[in-house]
Structure 1
Amino acid sequence: MKQKKIIAIILCLVLAFMIIGCQSNQQETTQQEVNNNTGEESFFTPGTYVGTASAHNGDLEVEVTVDENAIISIEIIKHNESEGIADPAIERIPTNVVNSQSLAVDSISGATVTSDAIISAITHALEQAGGDIDALKQKSDSAINEGETIEYTADVVVIGGGGAGLSAAVTAHENGANVIVLEKMPRLGGNTILSGGAFNAVNPERQERQGIEDSTEKHYTQTYEGGDEAGNPELVRTFVEGAPTALQWLESLGMEFNDDVFTVLGGMWPRANKPSTPLGTGFIDTYVNYIEANDGIEVLLDTEAVELIMDGDRVVGVNAKSFDDTVIVNANNGVIVATGGFGANPEMREEYNEVWADLLSLKTTNHPGATGDGIVMGIDVNASLVGMEHIQLLPMGDPISGSLSGNIEQGVENRIFVNKAGNRFVDEGARRDVMTQALIEQEDAFMWVIVDSHSYPTEDTKNNFNESIAELMEQDRAYKGDTLEALAEQIGVNSDNLIKAVEAFNDSVEAGNADAFGRTLFDEKLDSPPYYAGARVPTVHHTMGGLEINTKGQVVDTNGNVIPGLYAAGEVTGGIHGTNRLGGNALAEITVFGRIAGESAANAQ
């Protein structure tokens, strides 16, 4: 019996050691899995490596530095991606990879192609470093940060750091208010910074020098009738009368415009003032320069407003979030909603769409943050909505991204559109909705923009988006022919049709009469080789509907009463452009009503 007990004890000890050993192995295995998931066990050969991947506008290169156990830094050293659209991906993806030590990071909405290219380039570099790519692609379960609650107070709180929000912030400050701007994206600019920059305003000094007759009454008529008289006449009048003053105000802040005005796509008249700097950067740079030179305006980036704070029937602040932190911003005077439209929210577009056959599948010119947040917050406080069904499409989208970049036109007067057969199909000076509907009816809803050397006297000449024709040709986004026959071969259209289309256009230019499509906007003939072509497709551009406001920029509720403490400006509002916005009116309108909202909020009791 004693011997059996000893054997039993030995067996128990052996079993115990086996259990402990199994548990130890299991713990080691679990830890190994965690390490693999966090990249800690994905050992590298220390050094700096360059990775390359194909992005939207050509090759993208990253420089990745690693030590034996970790990714130390990632820098994008070369890219040709579109400014504004790609910026959130360029700024966030490398940081997210370093912070998570993982390749399993999410793409940035609205910049998916660029996001994927950055991740591919980083992967290429880490392969050279000997990294365990499979392990790095595993999603890591990072520790949950509880965050903290941060509270601010200002006279005026502005939601949105695009053109409308910043013009409101600067004007409120000029009127004696201290201001906090909340911007959910990692940078300022909104849609303004990636726009073509055209600013419609009657400008006798420039227009008369070019022999152009114009007036605020003509601007009013074209805007009101161009929107099928669906806009609020008082708001339209306020806009067109305020546009020249807004232009002068921008110039007083240091912004520069070119000497000549032009007609922008769908603008209906040559009153578009063009900034001297590329795209819409001049607007944002002007506001940022003011903010940096003056105390009293604080900008909180990566801070997403989620709810308006109410005290009875009055808006008194904003609840927001910034990563893991809760942000509360109290407003002594008022809150200005300037969050933009909902062009980058396909589901919301389709919810309100009553005009177009399909808006779910179309890409957009808008930046990723244009998702209708301000409209949703307005609905929660019983704000009235107007014109939500009016959604503007452009015929000028990039076939891959939907953006405006790559558009080779320099102005309405000096280009034509042809379909895949090489035939013209619409008045290229018509309203945007008219041109887009005509394009949708063409084969594959696809067209070529045709220009000549009048638009590009040299291959270094840049388009309205700061891209040279040489760069676009290198990226296979534009094509060149020394003859129309050669160009037709390049783009795969019938050369006889293309030649006839150009000849008919040139005849109309010479005659100075409306052509077969009713076009009356002409300048030069297309008769100066080389000839260039660029592909375009329909894209969602502007949402004309939104929060209802009055001429003081105050938001109105569903009963027609002003909501105390709540103001709005820019594309988040409705009732100004009616069914169709004229090209060049947006930047002017957001500046006019941004200034109105800023002044009203600063002087509120």
Structure 2
Amino acid sequence: MKKIYRLGLLLGLLVLAGCQANDAIGSGTFEGTGDGKHGDIKVEVTVKDKQIDGIKVVKHSENEVLAEPVYDELQETIVETNSPEVDVVTGSTATSDGYIAAVKDAIKKSGITLVASSKKNKKEPKEEAEQSYDVVVVGSGGAGFSAAIEAKEAGKSVILIEKMPAVGGNTLISGAEMNVPNNWVQKKLGIKGDSPEIMAADTLKGGDNVGDPEMVKVMTDKALEAAEWLRDDIKVSFIEDQLFQFGGHSYKRALIPEGHTGAEVIKKFRKKAEELKIPIKLNTTATDLIQDKEGKVTGIKATNREDQSISYMAKDGVVLTTGGFGSNVEMRKKYNSKMDESYMSTVTEGSTGDGIVMAEKIGAGLTNMESIQTYPVCNIETGVISLLADTRFDGAILINQEGLRFVEELERRDVISNAILKQTGGYTYQLWNDDINDISKTMEAHEGEYDELVKQKLIVKADTLEEAADFFDIDVKQLKATVEKVNQYAKDGEDKEFNHRGGLVSLEKGPYYIEKAAPSVHHTMGGLIINEKTEVLKEDGTVISGLYAAGELTGVIHGSNRLGGNAITDIIVFGRIAGQEVGGK
């Protein structure tokens, strides 16, 4: 016993001596790990003379476009203050927390006591209080980039304003699948019979015929042209042999970007904007629209990161592409009391309805504001949409705690969400196997999300249904009976219970995956009234001169419920139109 005690004491003294040695040296490079939004963030922290000299991210699974400015900003602040005790970056809390935790872990392992920083905090250079351009675009998601690029290519001077620390908006964090009738992948796969008219009919029916038929027609007629523009001009890579069929659609028509996320789209947009030398102002919040004596919109007032007030004047017009209000709980409750704090949200923290509020202040008309959509399959702890669960579009089934199916898996989002909330606990389980994985390819595309769900114990992989059911305490007898029915329906080509429009896939062979999920607020269908030129209208139908809008802050396209894959079509088609109109094409 004395030997063990002495050995432990010796090891403790060696560790202490090592820490003291490091502290005495005060220099070195040390590795640390923190828990980010999508898994571990590993960093190397270099310390020189007890001062943090640099931080290098060596491994992470975060969204690259979102994470890059977060890492840059936090590194700058930590190095300047010589301390990891810093505030998170707005809009990227989980990634910031993981990065900061990783730095703290590295410093702790170093055994070095950091000294007070002798460096002076850098201040951003002041901007001119008034700046003039031909076109000002507010919001840097898919609609904003589309508008800015089209206006720039029309020969206009353009600036893009973004209140968040990174570009991309909800486009970036979405799957970014885009519904396009008669697309090139349909032709390659031998899918015939689709048309803009059929997609328009699906869209109107899916929104309970609340959407404007003429605006829906514009979207579906121009969908192929917009997709080809993304492919050929913006250089977005789409998967060449796979399509999704979202709920409410008559055909598989949704193009899928490489990587199954909006990162591919936004990275290519950003690269194109850089080539065209379009300035992008991050951390800059638009607060008010500026009008001349005749009521024409001639610019915006904004506040930057340094709390400096700036007027960005627009000779030809302002384009609002600021998105919806899914993250603004008070605004949600104002228009639909059911969408209260009990719902989490899939969207970015920046989705607070700013553009809608600014335009309403100057008399813009609003429509359909009560229509707020939930996405049915989301992380029950964070509210984040589950892109891993896109297996649902290729045969995965939804079951309840009792092991029973309760809805057609390709129904409208609102129908599925409402059905889930009526089940035991208000949640669902999604079940699939490797045969479905091979079709869907979402597992390989979203490894970070899978690892996160495993850590949260919200997904299980098992060789048998019994093992999978036991993990979540699902009624195994009922589950096996449900799967037997599904296997028979897959064999017969007919779903006798729920009429699955895409065709079920056999679940006879494992391994199996079961994911637990629940609905989150996902899209606000209401917003500004616009016409076919994307001009913003007053309640009486007259045009507000100089003001254009595209994307989720408009309210005339999707009706009471947006069909999956239609958002990207909407924002690219109408974003391009806005840029062309303000650009004078």
Category of TM-score, reference length = shorter chain: 0.7 to 0.9
Out of 254, 267, 288, the residue aligned to residue 307 of structure 1 is 288
TM-fit CA distance, 1:418: 1.3
TM-fit CA distance, 1:265: 3.8
1:565-576 matches, cutoff 5 A: 565-576=546-557
Q: Does 1:326 align with 2:306?
A: no
Partner of 2:253: 271
Distance of aligned partners of 1:448 and 1:47 in 2 relative to their CA distance in 1, 3 Å threshold: same
Partner of 1:337: 320
- Code of the residue aligned with 2:202 in structure 1: it is Q
Asked if structure 1 preserves the Cα contact closer than 8 Å seen for 2:177 and 2:260, the reply is no
Asked if structure 2 preserves the Cα contact closer than 8 Å seen for 1:552 and 1:596, the reply is yes
1:61-72 matches, cutoff 5 A: 61-68=42-49, 70-72=51-53
Distance of aligned partners of 1:463 and 1:110 in 2 relative to their CA distance in 1, 3 Å threshold: farther
- Code of the residue aligned with 1:239 in structure 2: it is M
Partner of 1:283: 265
Q: Does 1:236 align with 2:216?
A: yes
TM-fit CA distance, 1:484: 1.6
Q: Does 1:160 align with 2:139?
A: yes
Deviations 1:512-543 (A, max 9, x none): 33432343321422223222122222111111
Partner of 2:150: 171
Give me the whole-angstrom Cα distance separating, in 2, the residues matched to 1:143 and 1:471: 38
Asked if structure 2 preserves the Cα contact closer than 8 Å seen for 1:154 and 1:331, the reply is yes
Give me the whole-angstrom Cα distance separating, in 2, the residues matched to 1:275 and 1:247: 11
Give me the whole-angstrom Cα distance separating, in 2, the residues matched to 1:317 and 1:201: 34
TM-fit CA distance, 1:205: 4.2
TM-fit CA distance, 1:462: 4.1
Partner of 1:452: 433
Partner of 1:34: none
Asked if structure 2 preserves the Cα contact closer than 8 Å seen for 1:461 and 1:468, the reply is no
TM-fit CA distance, 1:349: 1.9
Deviations 1:390-442 (A, max 9, x none): 11101111223222245233352411011223221211111000100111122
- Code of the residue aligned with 2:279 in structure 1: it is E
Deviations 1:546-570 (A, max 9, x none): 1111110001123321111000001
Three-state SS of the structure 1 residue aligned to 2:389 is coil
Give me the whole-angstrom Cα distance separating, in 1, the residues matched to 2:125 and 2:271: 36
Q: Does 1:580 align with 2:556?
A: no
Asked if structure 2 preserves the Cα contact closer than 8 Å seen for 1:418 and 1:449, the reply is yes
TM-fit CA distance, 1:56: 4.1
Higher mean C-alpha displacement, 190-199 vs 331-340: 190-199
Give me the whole-angstrom Cα distance separating, in 1, the residues matched to 2:336 and 2:106: 45
- Code of the residue aligned with 1:188 in structure 2: it is V
1:554-569 matches, cutoff 5 A: 554-569=535-550
Out of 190, 200, 224, the residue aligned to residue 220 of structure 1 is 200
TM-fit CA distance, 1:179: 1.2
Give me the whole-angstrom Cα distance separating, in 2, the residues matched to 1:563 and 1:112: 38
Out of 353, 357, 380, the residue aligned to residue 372 of structure 1 is 353
TM-fit CA distance, 1:472: 6.2
Give me the whole-angstrom Cα distance separating, in 1, the residues matched to 2:449 and 2:135: 45
- Code of the residue aligned with 2:313 in structure 1: it is N
- Code of the residue aligned with 1:409 in structure 2: it is D
Give me the whole-angstrom Cα distance separating, in 2, the residues matched to 1:468 and 1:457: 18
TM-fit CA distance, 1:247: 1.2
Partner of 1:392: 373
TM-fit CA distance, 1:218: 1.1
1:194-593 matches, cutoff 5 A: 194-203=173-182, 205-208=184-187, 209-253=189-233, 254-260=235-241, 262-269=243-250, 270-295=252-277, 297-312=278-293, 313-324=295-306, 325-354=308-337, 356=338, 358-405=339-386, 407-457=388-438, 462-463=442-443, 465-467=445-447, 471=451, 475=455, 476=457, 478-593=459-574
TM-fit CA distance, 1:227: 0.5
Give me the whole-angstrom Cα distance separating, in 2, the residues matched to 1:128 and 1:264: 50
TM-fit CA distance, 1:231: 1.0
- Code of the residue aligned with 2:153 in structure 1: it is E
Give me the whole-angstrom Cα distance separating, in 2, the residues matched to 1:478 and 1:326: 48
TM-fit CA distance, 1:335: 0.5
Asked if structure 2 preserves the Cα contact closer than 8 Å seen for 1:200 and 1:588, the reply is yes
- Code of the residue aligned with 2:264 in structure 1: it is G
Distance of aligned partners of 1:524 and 1:344 in 2 relative to their CA distance in 1, 3 Å threshold: same
TM-score normalized with structure 2 length: 0.87
Asked if structure 1 preserves the Cα contact closer than 8 Å seen for 2:247 and 2:411, the reply is yes
Give me the whole-angstrom Cα distance separating, in 2, the residues matched to 1:504 and 1:175: 58
Give me the whole-angstrom Cα distance separating, in 2, the residues matched to 1:69 and 1:524: 60
Give me the whole-angstrom Cα distance separating, in 1, the residues matched to 2:100 and 2:300: 35
Give me the whole-angstrom Cα distance separating, in 2, the residues matched to 1:184 and 1:584: 26
Asked if structure 2 preserves the Cα contact closer than 8 Å seen for 1:147 and 1:326, the reply is no
- Code of the residue aligned with 2:162 in structure 1: it is E
- Code of the residue aligned with 2:201 in structure 1: it is T
Deviations 1:564-591 (A, max 9, x none): 1000001111111011000000001100
Partner of 1:184: 163
Higher mean C-alpha displacement, 171-180 vs 217-226: 171-180
Give me the whole-angstrom Cα distance separating, in 2, the residues matched to 1:532 and 1:43: 52
Deviations 1:14-37 (A, max 9, x none): xxxxxxxxxxxxxxxxxxxxxxxx
Q: Which runs of 5+ in 2 are unaligned?
A: 1-22
Distance of aligned partners of 1:84 and 1:489 in 2 relative to their CA distance in 1, 3 Å threshold: farther
- Code of the residue aligned with 1:337 in structure 2: it is L
TM-fit CA distance, 1:66: 3.1
TM-fit CA distance, 1:474: 5.8
TM-score normalized with structure 1 length: 0.84
Give me the whole-angstrom Cα distance separating, in 2, the residues matched to 1:104 and 1:352: 40
TM-fit CA distance, 1:169: 1.0
1:33-48 matches, cutoff 5 A: 45-48=26-29
The runs of at least 4 consecutive aligned structure 1 residues that moved more than 6 Å come to 131-136, 141-146
Higher mean C-alpha displacement, 87-96 vs 56-65: 87-96
- Code of the residue aligned with 2:471 in structure 1: it is Q
Give me the whole-angstrom Cα distance separating, in 2, the residues matched to 1:527 and 1:535: 21
Three-state SS of the structure 2 residue aligned to 1:382 is coil
Give me the whole-angstrom Cα distance separating, in 2, the residues matched to 1:143 and 1:276: 39
Q: Which runs of 5+ in 1 are unaligned?
A: 1-41
- Code of the residue aligned with 1:565 in structure 2: it is G
Give me the whole-angstrom Cα distance separating, in 2, the residues matched to 1:87 and 1:477: 28
Asked if structure 2 preserves the Cα contact closer than 8 Å seen for 1:334 and 1:566, the reply is yes
1:2-151 matches, cutoff 5 A: 45-68=26-49, 70-82=51-63, 89-130=70-111, 147=126, 149-151=128-130
Give me the whole-angstrom Cα distance separating, in 2, the residues matched to 1:601 and 1:236: 21
Three-state SS of the structure 1 residue aligned to 2:169 is coil
Asked if structure 1 preserves the Cα contact closer than 8 Å seen for 2:50 and 2:113, the reply is no
- Code of the residue aligned with 2:210 in structure 1: it is A
Higher mean C-alpha displacement, 311-320 vs 142-151: 142-151
Length, aligned pairs only:
555
Give me the whole-angstrom Cα distance separating, in 1, the residues matched to 2:498 and 2:343: 27
Higher mean C-alpha displacement, 575-584 vs 342-351: 342-351
